[in-house]
Structure 1
Amino acid sequence: MTTSLDVTDFGAVPGGRGDAAPAIVAALQAATARAGRVTVRFPPGEYHLWPDGAPRRELYVSNTVGDDPAWRDKTIAVLVEAADDLVISGAGARLVLHGLQTTFAVIDSRRVRIEGLEFDFAVPTVVDATVVDAGVTAGRAFRVISVPEATLFSVEGRSVRWHGEPIGAGAYAWEGYDALEYSQVHDPAGGRTRRAPNPLFDRVRKATRVGRRTIRLDYDHGEAPADAGLVYQMRRTTRDHPGGLVLDSAAVTLSGVVFRFLHGFGIVAQASRDVGIESCEFRTPPGTGRHSAGFADFVQFSGCSGRAVVRDCLFDGPHDDPVNVHGTYLRVAGQPGPRTLELEYAHPETAGIPQFAPGDRVEIVDRETLLPIAVAAVERVRQPSGRDHDVPLRTIVVTVGSALPGGLSGRAAVENVTRTPSVHLARNVFRNVPTRGVLVTTRRKVLIEDNRFERTGMSAVYVSGDATEWWESGPVRDLTVRGNEIVEPGGPAVFVDPRNPGSDPAHPVHHGVVVEGNRFVLDGVPALDAKDTGGLRFRDNAIAHVGVPAWDLVLRSCPGADVGPGEGGAPLRIMEESRDRPL
């Protein structure tokens, strides 16, 4: 039997301007206290959620702010904790967040489904500035920029101060000046977004507010701007919150949810099992002048297991990768015993997260080659909890069940290979992406099929793995890319690029990559660029080159590659190592 609860019974008023956060907290607490299946309903209408009434939790999340004490506590608009068999349903309900918040978090829960809700921010933390006019008058250049209704600003001398809403005692939720810390450029006419310099605030002589949403910038030079119509997307760089969070949970599904903006680092599924994202939309509200739907990535699976499924979604307008699936390499910092390793988080944006449980299988790899040195089972571990700072946040001490080789300190990294998911990405659309469309590094089965990638700033599909930079593990063993349409990517359409400084042609890093039945429209880049990949197969793909010609395939240290002709028997041009040969 299903119990149904309505947020209006707890004081939420659809269409009201009051803070709905306390009512939502009460409704969800009541739902988790009930036995059996419970549905929490949001009637249609707009709900405003302020940080003062929202729950806060100390949490450490992959690729955010690491162990920075300034951002230990995360404010969460919709928090589900310790739930079992819960549905949150809200077709026609729009949740507007104020300040800096995580849209939702599902923590320590099982069988949770969130469907139909729409999330947005009253004041997004990215500024989208459109150049509506530009030219030269009296020998001096000028631009007129327009910003969306939701963007708050003031003109102060020759600078523009961007800011969020007043929160608490009157301080702004966030603020910054001019180009902020990071910029990218969106071309609405060309349907392309790229990382590029921002000239808006270079050599400004005068800044003038000329309308409610428009600013004129006059310069001390006479070089005519040639960027009318472009949108400069500007933000700070601190990923203080995850955009959404699924933590230590299982069987969690997002269905038909609309994300108009995600502050921080996207939706992170961390240490969770069987997470699905289906028929969701990541896109700004049409007609608002807003183009940035995400502060960074849209979706990331970190240290997950079971199945990671993303299907029938629209990804439009992130500031980083729409989908990223990976584990985490930990650097071996010490070897206090024959079966004990002291490990450390190497990247400053990831720390404080538990990585192991007794019985988990770990693989120790050489950082130079990314090739395995040893495999062992975890017996015991001393590590952070991910919920507090009572123990060191950057180090883990793990003891395994068998003796390990010596000399691992400094030269080796460790991956938990138990926490690696299988992946299915199907029928999604990726557009206005400045980076890669999909990043994936997992040794279990990966199927990327029937997606459309439109003019990604870099590769459409990127396979990496590294123990030197982002420390995102690990090797690919069974990856199929089929039936996709990849249109004019900014880098190799499919890029298999392990970041191993030392390469051993006899022992490749990745294996089992199949690229078949795709349609590529390419401008100056190959359909496939692969390095240190064994048993690669490339068959029955349609390749059309427009603009700048390029190789069809680039293969570097790829033993046993099986490359067939293109669609209809068309010959392919291949660059293999330093030699080229038509096939």
Structure 2
Amino acid sequence: MLDVSGFGAVPGRPDLDAAPAVRAALRAAGAVAGPVLLRFPPGDYHLWRDGARRRELYVSNTVGDDPRHRDKSIALLVEAADDLVIAGEGARLVLHGRQTTFAVVDSRRVRVEGLEFDMAVPTVVDGTVVAAGVAAGRAYRVIRVPAATLFSVEGASIRWRGETLGSGAIDWSGRDGLEYTQIHDPAGGRTWRGPNPLFDRVRSIERVGERDIRIDYEHDGEPADLGLVYSMRPTTRDHPGGLVLDSSEVTLSRLRFRFLHGFGVVAQTSRDVAVEECEFRPPPDSGRHSAGFADFLQFSGCSGQVVVRDCLFDGPHDDPINVHGTYLRVTGQPDRRTLELEYPHRETAGFPQFSPGDEVELVDRATLRAVASATVRSARQPSGRDHDRPLRTLVVTVDTELAEGLAGWTAVENVTRTPSVRIAGNVFRNVPTRGVLVTTRRPVLIEDNRFERTGMAAIYVSCDAQEWWESGPVRDLTIRGNEFLDPGGPAILLDPRNTRCDEAHPVHRGVVVADNRFTLDGVPALDARSTHGIRLRGNHVVRHGQETPDVVLRSCSDVRIDQDDTGSET
């Protein structure tokens, strides 16, 4: 066993950058053959961006190939490790400056357990309206921000900022409502995306306490948002919040993520990844309501089995769980065995997609119908680790002759890099979007979860070669034993983004929805499109408020609903 304190890490010292000691401890752990335990004793460890490891990495759904953000700062970097456990019950890692909390790269059989991760100055500003009214004919609000939020009043404007780094630079800054806002109602337990009125027609701003800010307006309309929280942030996803890259048999257990900057924990082109008994939630009684800058968990191009169980997801700025592959657009066809491909979405580029022997499927982008399949023989593609080769384009040679004229209207998916999925026993709350997005052709089981008032559909099954380019179809999806409480959209939405539907050639197949409980207001329990073989049984629907059909079907076939399964109760 190794202990970080043996390398100079001292808990409880905010003035001491623990990054060099942590780096030394990880280096020593990597040099030991066989199983290794690296322990963090209880206490707070402060890790500054200046002392973090830096790697050029390209990560799905972040900043694509933008050269300004190619280098990532990583607080806890595990590289080329085998049989490593990092344990830290009672240990909290506090990040100073925008960083990836941890990265597991090119490793096998790694377990990270017990640690808590937070950011000293989160990149989301949570402003709670603690007073509002009209005085002397003008409207006003008093907003309260968390103690961790740094700001200055500059005339009739507020400047939010991050910490001052060792270089003297300010880590980040922005003004007023920043670039994005979502609204949280603590009393109603609901979060949604919407306009931000805090900085409309401002007359004056003054600081009226350590954490309170009074905003006076040019109008006399009395604000009706007392108690609401406006969560404001920039929109550049310059880092993944955590990263599992090109690794296998990685388990994240009993971790507490108090804030994830950038794009959540991303597992990319990895195999057999488990997230168990983790908590994604801001610190209690901190005045903070946002635990993430975007998604919480993203699985991109993974294989083997993905497991997410017994976790709490509370306060993201996007979807808590998203499992998908990536469609690449076919742009050229030099010969019958060669395809020129590209990453079409600006937020995803720069990493490899294929290995020799991988099976690929070509689909018609309009119908999402498969038109050909083949096996990869070779690929010229980006490495994901440098910019020496083109970051957006790839060339793939396959083992069989393909039809001519595929460019423009088809897309390619690597079907080898598609995982089976189990999502079980989790709680989703204060979510502005969907709870779970999943698109994979291997078996998916979503069971015994509780979805509380998601802003949109609780479970969303897409498949898209037009906008986000997240592949692919589902073939074996079971949703059972879950509780859906007042979702903002259909509780379960099967909505592939094909622009032409053909019932004879559906996108999705094999969906079982069984023994779930739905409490709904004006939305269906299931809204399905272009899906074959839907089975509903043993579900219970309780309705209040606006009536709407329990099941909505569009271009679906072979649907079986037991007579009393979705009978409503009011």
User: TM-score interval w.r.t. the shorter chain?
Assistant: over 0.9
Q: Indicate the residue corresponding to 2:264 in structure 1.
A: 266
Task: Spell out, residue by residue over 1:107-135, the C-alpha distance to the aligned partner (whole angstroms, 9 max, x if none).
Answer: 00000000000000000000000000000
CA–CA distance in structure 2, aligned partners of residues 375 and 566 of structure 1: 42
Deviation of 1:279 after TM superposition, in Å, equals 0.2
Q: Which residue matches 1:68?
A: 66
Matches within 5 A, 1:100-111: 100-111=98-109
Supply the AA of the counterpart residue of 1:192.
R
Distance 1:38 1:153 in 2: 44
Q: Take 1:565 and 1:276, find their aligned partners in 2: how far apart are those partners?
A: 38
Contact kept in structure 2, 1:365 and 1:373, CA below 8 Å: yes
- 1:380-422 Cα offsets, whole Å, 9 max, x none, are 1000000000000000000000011111110000000000000
Q: Helix, strand or coil: the match of 1:166?
A: coil
Q: Tell me the amino acid that sits aligned with residue 13 of structure 1.
A: V
Is the contact made by 1:19 and 1:53 (CA closer than 8 Å) also made in structure 2? yes
Partner of 1:570: 567
RMSD of aligned residue pairs (Cα, Å): 1.0
Q: Is the partner of 1:22 in helix, strand or coil? A: helix
Secondary structure at the aligned position of 2:557 is classed as coil
Matches within 5 A, 1:274-353: 274-353=272-351
Amino acid at match of 1:547: G
Q: Displacement of 1:53 after TM fit?
A: 1.1
> Match for residue 446 of structure 2?
448
Amino acid at match of 1:110: R
TM-aligned CA distance change 1:8 to 1:227, over 3 Å:
same
Q: Is the 8 A contact 1:183 1:234 kept in 2?
A: yes
1:12 and 2:17 correspond: no
SS of alignment partner, residue 415 of structure 1 = strand
TM-score of the aligned structures, taking structure 2 as reference length? 0.99
Deviations 1:283-331 (A, max 9, x none): 0011010000000000000000000000000000000000000000000
Q: Find the aligned partners of 1:469 and 1:269 in 2 and give their Cα distance.
A: 22
Deviations 1:524-580 (A, max 9, x none): 00000000000011111000111111110000111100111344x8379xxxxxxxx
* Structure 2 residue 100 is the aligned partner of structure 1 residue 95: no
Which AA in structure 2 matches 1:9?
Answer: G
> Alpha-carbon deviation of 1:440?
0.1
Q: After the TM superposition, which residues 76-475 of structure 1 pair with which residues of structure 2 at under 5 Å, given as runs?
A: 76-475=74-473
Inter-partner Cα distance in structure 1 for 2:421 and 2:564: 27
Indicate yes or no: 2:540 matched with 1:542.
yes
The number of equivalent residue pairs is 569
- 1:161 offset after TM fit, Å? 0.3
Residue of structure 2 aligned with 1:559, choices 534, 548, 557: 557
Indicate if the aligned counterparts of 1:540 and 1:565 stay in contact, CA closer than 8 A: no
Return the letter of the residue paired with 1:474: G
For 2:352, the aligned partner's letter is P
1:67: how far off? 0.4
Q: Summarize deviations over 1:197-251 as a string: whole Å, max 9, x none.
A: 0000000010111111111000000100000000000000000000000000000
Q: CA deviation at 1:168?
A: 3.4
> How far apart, CA to CA, are the structure 1 residues paired with 2:262 and 2:567?
46
Alpha-carbon separation, structure 1, partners of 2:371 and 2:491:
32
Q: Distance in 1 between matches of 2:191 and 2:403?
A: 48
- Conserved in 1, the CA contact under 8 Å of 2:130 and 2:142? yes
Contact 2:508–2:531 (Cα < 8 Å) also in 1: yes
Distance 1:337 1:166 in 2: 55
Structure 2 unmatched ranges of 5 or more = none
CA distance in 1: counterparts of 2:445 and 2:530, whole angstroms: 20
Q: Distance in 2 between matches of 1:450 and 1:212?
A: 44
CA distance in 1, matches of 2:563, 2:122: 48
1:444 CA displacement: 0.2
The one-letter code of the counterpart of 1:218 is: D
Instruction: Compute the displacement of 1:169 (Å).
Output: 3.0
Amino acid at match of 1:151: T
Alpha-carbon distance in structure 1 between the residues aligned to 2:116 and 2:286: 16
Asked if the contact 2:368/2:498 (under 8 Å) is kept, the reply is yes
Please give the secondary structure, in 2, of the residue aligned with 1:149: coil
TM-score by length of 1: 0.97
Amino acid in the other structure paired with 2:186? P
* Cα shift at 1:506: 1.1
Please say if residues 541 and 568 of structure 2, whose CA atoms lie closer than 8 Å, have aligned partners that are also in contact. no
Name the SS for the 1:560 alignment partner: strand
Q: Which amino acid aligns with 1:543?
A: V
What is the alpha-carbon distance in structure 2 between the residues aligned to residue 564 and residue 203 of structure 1? Answer: 56
User: What secondary structure, in the 3-state scheme, does the structure 2 residue paired with 1:64 have?
Assistant: coil
User: Is 1:40 matched with 2:72?
Assistant: no
Give SS of 2:122's match: coil
The separation in 1 between residues aligned to 2:167 and 2:70, in whole angstroms, is 21
Percent of pairs identical after alignment?
A: 72
- The amino acid of 2:266's aligned partner reads V
Task: State how far apart, in whole Å, the 1-side matches of 2:377 and 2:364 are.
Answer: 22
| SS of residue in 2 equivalent to 1:561 | strand
Aligned partner of 1:580 in structure 2 is none
1:155-177, CA deviations, whole angstroms, 9 ceiling, x for partnerless residues?
Answer: 00110000000113322100000
5 Å matches for 1:22-33?
A: 22-33=20-31
Post-superposition Cα deviations, 1:50-89, rounded to whole Å, max 9, x if no partner, equal 0111100000000000000000100000000000000000
Asked if 1 retains the 8 angstrom alpha-carbon contact of 2:480 and 2:514, the reply is: yes
* Structure 1 position 16, deviation (Å): 1.3
| Match of residue 518, structure 2, among 507, 517, 520 | 520
**1-structure distance, mates of 2:484, 2:21:** 45
Instruction: Give the secondary-structure state (helix, strand or coil) at the position aligned to 1:141.
Output: strand
Tell me, in whole angstroms, the C-alpha distance in 2 between the residues paired with 1:394 and 1:408: 19
SS at match of 2:29: helix
Give CA-to-partner distance per residue, 1:342-371, whole Å, 9 cap, x none: 000000000001000000000000000000
Q: Distance in 2 between matches of 1:8 and 1:125?
A: 30
For 1:386 and 1:353, locate their aligned partners in 2 and report how far apart those are by CA, in whole Å.
4
